[in-house]
Structure 1
Amino acid sequence: MSNRVTVQYEGKVAKITLNRPDKMNSMNQEMLEEMAEKMEEVSQSEAQIVVLSGEGRAFSAGGDINMMLENDDPNEFKKIMDTIEKAVKSFYSMPKITISKLNGATAGLGLSLALAADYVIAQKEAKIAMNFIGIGLIPDGGGHFFMEQRLGTHLAKQMIWEGKMMQAEEAAKLGLVDFATENVEEATQKYVGKLQHAPLRAMIQTKTIYHKENLKKLESYFAGEAEGQVAMRQTKDHQEGIKAFMEKRKPEFRGE
């Protein structure tokens, strides 16, 4: 185990940390597999409150670009998508009150994962984007579902299509994150303290009722994203998007 994802328990609280700071906590296959294991561990634990955060200056920059480039084998790619689904679904459905603490940049798959939490608290200046479109892809990790849940279908579509990078303050005004704060560490600690004196079993029961029903829809979205991502990876626009990303220039998409 590489400790790309760490877990620390403090009484009722479990702290999960994405721990690849040298790569802005971007997620490669090894890290995704470890995250799926750690999410399941925490889900089965006695903890009632879970805080997910990123080590260093970012929450997560999303999927590792090298993972995308290296996995041309459809079977390997399916394995990656299955692992993403397992990790995110476990985080979304765990019988705990969950908080995503966005200390810095949160993009792509990183944003999909963050939005699976019950509460999303972000540092005011943190940059946030659902930016798959920049390389000719669609959101995965349940991104379509979580964006729709928070914004409604119409605005979710437009934000996904635009792939706009915004500061957390703007994201909070839209309802994409719950709070944008001057000190995300302090704000999260205060909220955890408040939850520790709340009737957590009743809160978790309400969550379970809602999420049990929503899980059917989320699973349908995972299937659609996996199918769509396979198709988009074959497009000329995706190849151009990747090439432009590597060359640090604006892509020239042709709708092909």
Structure 2
Amino acid sequence: MTGSIDIVRDADCWTFTLNRPDKMNALNPQAVEALLAGVDEAHQSGARTLVFAGNGRNFSAGFDQGNLEQESDADLLLRLVRIETMLQRVASSPCMTVAFAHGRNFGAGVDLFVACKKRFCTADATFRMPGLRFGLVLGTRRFGECVGLANARDILEQTRTLDAHEAHEIGLVSRLVEADGVCSVVDDLRQVAGQLDSQTQRHLYDVLAAGDASRDLADLVLSASRPGLKARMLAFMRQR
């Protein structure tokens, strides 16, 4: 156990379970730093498969807004930069990255799901990204790359909720699975990851990567540094 993240190291497969069920696995600073450190350690150890899941009712409710009243715009900006750094670390991983979602998932939690190469969910899963309601651009390009630009525009402009079946239809979800089928899926993907040597696997993922990490970070900072971020987030919470 690493604070709010449970890490299981099983030979070449590391599993990261968000473990704040009382907070719907919202990403507080401790969880983000634990994920960053854990993913880096997994890479250094030679892991080939990384699995991300959530304990309790859902995968993740995204950015933890629990102490928002006590934070400044600068505090929030730094937190968001660290989240984007973590998301980029997962998105650019040389490993097979796998996410399992269930329950209600929001914002940065959906972004973590999107950052993985293989994405699975149960039939009860829903996904919503409300960040644009308070002017925040986080993970937007990755989402567009995942579901297509037209779909991304429609979904993000309306900040509407996707159910599991629509998420599967547009490519956000690779496949729907039952909760008791997770182990079987992981076993299959471990075998897939092992078919190539680690250097070739890394080269394959590098060649196919379409992202621009510097641009993604710049877009986030540009949106989050606009004065009044905290006030906009508080206003959104009151409306909700």
Relative to the length of structure 1, the TM-score reads: 0.83
Root-mean-square deviation over aligned CA pairs: 2.2
Deviation of the 1:125 alpha carbon:
1.2
Question: Residue 94 of structure 2 contacts residue 201 of structure 2 at CA under 8 Å; is this kept in 1?
Answer: no
Match of 1:244 in 2: 239
Change (3 A) 1:243 1:38: same
Residue 156 in 1 paired to residue 155 in 2?
no
Native 8 Å contact 2:73 2:228 kept in 1: no
Question: How has the CA–CA distance of structure 1 residues 18 and 139 changed in structure 2, closer, same or farther, with 3 Å as cutoff?
Answer: farther
The AA in structure 2 aligned to 1:36 is L
The answer to whether the Cα contact below 8 Å between 1:126 and 1:168 also exists between their aligned partners in 2 is: yes
Of 204, 213, 230, the residue aligned with 2:225 is: 230
Check 1:39–1:98 CA distance in 2 against 1; reply closer, same or farther (3 A cut).
Answer: same
What SS class does the counterpart of residue 149 from structure 1 fall into?
helix
- Cα distance in 2 for partners of 1:53, 1:126 equals 13
d(CA) in 1 for partners of 2:128 and 2:152? 12
Matches within 5 A, 1:50-199: 50-74=50-74, 76-133=75-132, 135-140=133-138, 143-181=139-177, 183-186=178-181, 188-198=182-192, 199=195
CA displacement, residues 87-136 of structure 1 (integer Å, 9 cap, x when unaligned): 11111112110100113222101001110000000011111111224x42
Mind listing any 5+ residue stretches in structure 2 that lack a counterpart? none
TM-aligned CA distance change 1:40 to 1:185, over 3 Å: farther
Question: How has the CA–CA distance of structure 1 residues 148 and 236 changed in structure 2, closer, same or farther, with 3 Å as cutoff?
Answer: same
Q: Does 1:33 align with 2:28?
A: no
Q: Normalized against structure 2, the TM-score is what? A: 0.88
Q: Which secondary structure does the structure 1 equivalent of 2:191 belong to?
A: coil
**Preserved CA contact (<8 Å) 2:84 2:217:** yes
Gaps of 5+ in 1: 246-256
User: Could you tell me how far apart the structure 1 residues matched to 2:234 and 2:21 are?
Assistant: 27
Could you say what secondary structure the match of 1:224 adopts? helix
Kindly, what percent of the aligned residue pairs are identical? 22
SS at match of 1:120: strand
Aligned positions, number: 236
The amino acid across from 2:81 in the alignment is D
Contact residue 125 and residue 163 of structure 2 kept, 8 A = yes
Q: Which moved more, 1:13-22 or 1:151-160?
A: 151-160
**Larger RCO: 1 or 2 (CA < 8 Å, sep 6+):** 2
SS at match of 2:97: strand
In structure 2, the CA distance between the partners of 1:46 and 1:103, relative to structure 1 (3 Å rule), is same
CA distance in 2 between counterparts of 1:100 and 1:167 reads: 16
Matched, 1:210 2:208: yes
What letter corresponds to residue 165 of structure 1 in structure 2?
Answer: T
